[in-house]
Amino acid sequence: MFPALYSDPKTAIVISMQNIDTQFTLSRDYLEECFDQTLPHGKNPQPNYLFPGLLIATAAGLLLFTEEPKVAAGILVALAVLELIHIRYRRAWWITRQLWGRSAGREVKLTGDENGIQTQNPFTQTSLLWADIDRVIETDLGLILVAKSGGQQYLSKSLFSAEWISWIVDNNTISDAVRKSSG
């Protein structure tokens, strides 16, 4: 192990160029940062109004062109309204769902080394190997590690030194170059 380049007893960070051990609390502030920074890079950054529109159009068609009871049309309109509420409050709803989880408010131990990044709290343990990372997206406040499987893991820059952040980005650049030359 290399000698520590950065040490901050206030946040329990000790790193070398390839190793880091830190802890953070899965708080509302961290979750809000996570949502705000990953939304533009997610699968659906723009709200999809097509589905509620189709529900309302189908309900209108049922009301106008059938003699059946109007219950089905009412249910479709209610589902469309529910979907529009979901679209309007998706940030608040996502954060609330995360805060209802068992891990909310708990300390998360993050360990990074030459193999990858591991996170652990009292209920879950995850590991993301560097070889499994497709790309790293750098945002204003953090890094999004995009796995080859399509999953994403957000890491706040406040957890790391500038040297370690550049090491992550450089490590991904090297794997991109190897991937391009072999493909």
Residue ranges, comma separated, of all CATH 2.30.29 domains in the chain are: 6-26+105-182
pLDDT surpasses 90 at 183: no
Q: What is the pTM of this model?
A: 0.72
Confirm if 155 and 143 have CB atoms less than 8 A apart.
yes
**pLDDT tens, 31-47?**
999 999 999 887 777 88
Domain 6-26+105-182 has CATH 3.90.320: no
Residue 116 Ramachandran class (φ > 0 left, ψ -120 to 50 alpha, else beta): left
pLDDT band for position 6 (cuts 50, 70, 90): very low
